[in-house]
Structure 1
Amino acid sequence: MFQNLFKYTAFALFLSISCQAQTPKAVKDVSKDEIKTNGITKEVLTGAQQSNVYLPILKAKRVGVVTNQTGITDGTKMIGKKNCGNEPNSGTCAIFEQISIVDHLIANGVEVKKIFSPEHGFRGDADAGETVKSGKDTKTGLPIVSLYGKNKKPTKEQYADLDIIVFDIQDVGARFYTYISTLHYVMETAAETKKKVIVLDRPNPNAHYVDGPVLSMKYKTFVGMHPVPIVYGMTIGEYAQMINGEGWLAGKLKADLEIIPLKNYTHDTPYSLPVKPSPNLPNDKSINLYPSTCFFEAFNGSEGRGTDKPFMVYGSPFLKNMPYQFTPQPNAGAKDPRFKGQVCYGEDLSNHPDVHEIKLEWLIRAYQNYEGKEPFWIKNSGELWIDKLAGTDQLRKQIEAGLSEEEIKKSWQADLDKFKEVRAKYLIYP
């Protein structure tokens, strides 16, 4: 866990944005310069914190909640005080105990029928790729339906006793982070069964840039379902609008979608997650590096799972001329890490300055220094995993051909420019 560190340059007030069977329009009525009030910046409020907006919609409805350990909001118990903003004389605000959105809804009289859990499970402690079983929540007694087990898409039968689906999961803004794929399937079944979806929006800690190769639909998988770059620079609410508006649901259906937007937020607002979003993204640094270092899942080495620096270090037994050493061991986030008990050589990036682009230099350097007998690139289900993560085979071929980082990134630009034009239609925040 790590603390909220909100630094703000903006204050905006938005009403709920309804996207019912139509292409939504971008909200562009507030600029960054209009937002400061008397020099004081305000605290970002998540969609979940705005009960006055969504509780009336849920009244007398049968509700399913798609969430995990990141779906939290303010409880009624005050546990302290803090500055209301990041400027002197901004006053103090109460700090309330954080509780699950499920508990919050129940406490406010909402008829919650079931919980849907994504990859890593409702409590967020399952390993990456580990099958998540359905079960029952010990606190509430509610059934938990896994969306990372027998089915990744909710079945029509699982929605049969519901009127509304509430989606509240913290994303980290990388295409291969599977919560946006879960969002797609949640919306798709909702469109097929004519159920309403409410997304409680949350900040994206990597929303301040757009970068990476745009996925070729030839490489569509659960770690990349849409023709977007690796870093797409949108909140999960904005992304939901894009899924709907671009006709990406099966049969070009459109979900009855409503976003409960953030307040006091821009894409440049630094955001530190109050809860780690998955077992191997424990802090701000790992989340910042993740779009770049996740590529190391695809090579014959380690991306740091089984250490206290996952996605902040990389290494392999076959990079012996590299300076840093670590030995993966089983831990809470990696029950059986690759190269368990073996010394890996590589780099420690945990003190690297924050990045504002995808960095390829580390992957290129590892490829150039690799001395293993086995291929550098590993396969998953018989296919090269790097091509699935990158969303194209071009990146792999460019590295193998010896292209520089600058040359590779230049090849992305035309597709990135086209994507940004699409993205602009769905942005809610400046």
Structure 2
Amino acid sequence: MRFNIFKNTVLLFVFIMISCASKAKSKLYINNETLHTTKSDSIIIIGANQTDNYLSLLNGKRVGIVANQTSVIFKKEKTQVIGIDPETHEQSVVHVVEKDTMTHLVDSLMALKIDIKKVFSPEHGFRGRVDAGELVKDGIDTKTNLPIVSLYGKNKKPTKDQLEGLDIVIFDIQDVGVRFYTYISTLHYIMEACSEQGIPVLILDRPNPNGHYVDGPTLEIKNKSFLGMHPIPLVHGMTIAEYAQMINGEKWLKNGVQCDLTIISMKNYTHDTFYSLPLRPSPNLPNDQSIKLYPSLGLFEGTNVNAGRGTEFQFQRYGAPFLNKTTLTFSYTPVANFGAKYPKHKNVLCYGEDLKDETLNGVMTLKWVIKAYQNSMDKSLFFNTENFTKHAGIDTLQKQIEAGLSESEIKATWQEALESFKKTRSKYLIYN
């Protein structure tokens, strides 16, 4: 009888552990809300995880790496569930539970005796703690004692001296597929600087959570900036590696040079495969909803409207003190927090909309920017013209909104450029 109770207790414990492990797995790879059709049920194997395919390229080389907090290798950690027989008091393994864990790529490569010489840090810093737009300083990583070279400080392109002594540079950063998300601009400058110095670049590819569609205005070169360097739509529908191939193939690097690229592509990934990011790619993109809404709400960065910075719902709400509180009744007060020391309208009550439960599938929309503008009590306060044009990539969008054009009327003016881009994009796709 006592042993039967023990067995039932052990079975219940094992069931709970299996259930917990299953939930942990789903947190990394599955989302209850289906954003688009999933063609493959297999777990995506990212480039970084395929060490057997690239360690031979690094052995005996002096390595630089462009990385941040998302540059991780996913692993399975096994835990034994031990049961004790109350009759014999003997221990035995009744089950082995697997748990999803991760290690930073830098730590993993150093443990494998790869000679990493320095880390290049993009916007937000190597550990991802710096505000958007805030300068990143050179320094020493306290965990590894590696020198950190900022690519968002004095220079955004590595100098000859900064690349001195390197045999190869790894690029491994999680992107979200939006033109003004600056990691792809860092990619451009890495490729350009390395090609000028004859240094090959190894790209470890990762999924694009907005990779299932192409939308938005296509940048006009006259509006080129670090927020957009090439004539691509606001949502480009490419992974980092695919975009690198386009940079090379279209000869967008200075003087038409081409970078010596090696790509470790993903397994079990298509552009229709949903991917829930296990880590926030930057301080103000905390979850899937913020990443999904970012292409649309990111345009508020070029206005005087707060897009949730200074709250725990970044890019899931918008508001400003000059918006009409009668029609936009949702209110909140931005305060200094992680990733936003100085949010717009800090400590000031803002009126707007809460979008944390909004459903948006495979499209970027202007409806919230248009609605906010129409509900501005003083429209002269709304746009930061230079910054808005940099985010939009075209100077006509602000004029169209001010003229009262509808979203469908505005989007119709984008279609010719979008179709042209899609044809160009098709030449560089790695995944279906």
Q: Tell me whether the two structures share a fold, i.e. TM-score over 0.5.
A: yes
Deviation string for 1:81-126 (max 9, x for gaps)?
A: 9xxxxxxxxxx99445311110111111110000000000000010
Q: Does 1:4 align with 2:13?
A: no
SS at match of 1:386: helix
Counterpart of 1:329 (choices 335, 341, 363) is 335
Aligned to 1:298: 302
Aligned to 1:229: 233
Q: How far apart are the structure 1 equivalents of 2:155 and 2:254?
A: 16
Aligned to 2:70: 70
Listed as ranges, the matches of 1:120-139 within 5 Å are: 120-139=124-143
Q: Contact (CA 8 Å) 1:79, 1:96: kept in 2 or not?
A: no
Which one scores higher on RCO, CA 8 angstroms, separation ≥ 6?
Answer: 1
SS at match of 1:212: strand
Listed as ranges, the matches of 1:357-396 within 5 Å are: 357-372=363-378, 374-379=380-385, 384-396=386-398
Q: Contact (CA 8 Å) 1:285, 1:354: kept in 2 or not?
A: no
Aligned to 1:22: none
Aligned to 1:272: 276
Q: Counterpart amino acid of 1:149?
A: G
Deviation at 1:374, TM superposition (A): 4.2
Worse-matched range after superposition: 197-206 or 102-111: 102-111
Counterpart of 2:425 (choices 415, 423, 426) is 423
Deviation string for 1:306-359 (max 9, x for gaps)?
A: 011111100111112312101001101111111111110011111001331111
Deviation string for 1:45-73 (max 9, x for gaps)?
A: 00000000011111111100100000000
Deviation string for 1:200-233 (max 9, x for gaps)?
A: 0000000010001100000000000010000000
SS at match of 2:372: helix
Q: Counterpart amino acid of 2:341?
A: K
**Greater helix share, structure number:** 2
TM-score where L is the length of structure 1: 0.87
Q: Contact (CA 8 Å) 1:64, 1:113: kept in 2 or not?
A: yes
Q: How far apart are the structure 1 equivalents of 2:186 and 2:419?
A: 27
Q: Does 1:98 align with 2:122?
A: no
Q: How far apart are the structure 2 equivalents of 1:221 and 1:134?
A: 23
Counterpart of 1:155 (choices 129, 154, 159) is 159
Q: Counterpart amino acid of 1:305?
A: R
- What's the % identity of the aligned pairs? 55
Q: How far apart are the structure 2 equivalents of 1:180 and 1:79?
A: 39
Deviation at 1:373, TM superposition (A): 6.8
Deviation at 1:6, TM superposition (A): 3.8
SS at match of 1:198: strand
Listed as ranges, the matches of 1:10-49 within 5 Å are: 41-49=41-49
Q: Contact (CA 8 Å) 2:317, 2:356: kept in 1 or not?
A: yes
Q: Contact (CA 8 Å) 2:304, 2:383: kept in 1 or not?
A: yes
Q: Does 1:352 align with 2:358?
A: yes
TM-score where L is the length of structure 2: 0.86
Taking structure 1 as reference, are residues 273 and 79 closer, same or farther at Cα in structure 2, changes over 3 Å only?
farther
Taking structure 1 as reference, are residues 53 and 6 closer, same or farther at Cα in structure 2, changes over 3 Å only?
farther
Q: Counterpart amino acid of 2:420?
A: K
Listed as ranges, the matches of 1:169-208 within 5 Å are: 169-208=173-212
Q: Contact (CA 8 Å) 1:79, 1:97: kept in 2 or not?
A: no
Give the paired residue count: 388
Q: Contact (CA 8 Å) 1:289, 1:355: kept in 2 or not?
A: no
CA RMSD of aligned residues (A): 2.1
Q: Counterpart amino acid of 2:431?
A: Y
Taking structure 1 as reference, are residues 110 and 220 closer, same or farther at Cα in structure 2, changes over 3 Å only?
same
Deviation at 1:75, TM superposition (A): 5.1
| Structure 1: gaps (5+ residues) | 8-31, 82-91
Q: How far apart are the structure 2 equivalents of 1:93 and 1:246?
A: 49
Q: How far apart are the structure 1 equivalents of 2:69 and 2:107?
A: 12
Q: How far apart are the structure 1 equivalents of 2:97 and 2:242?
A: 29
Question: Higher Cα Rg: structure 1 or 2?
Answer: 2
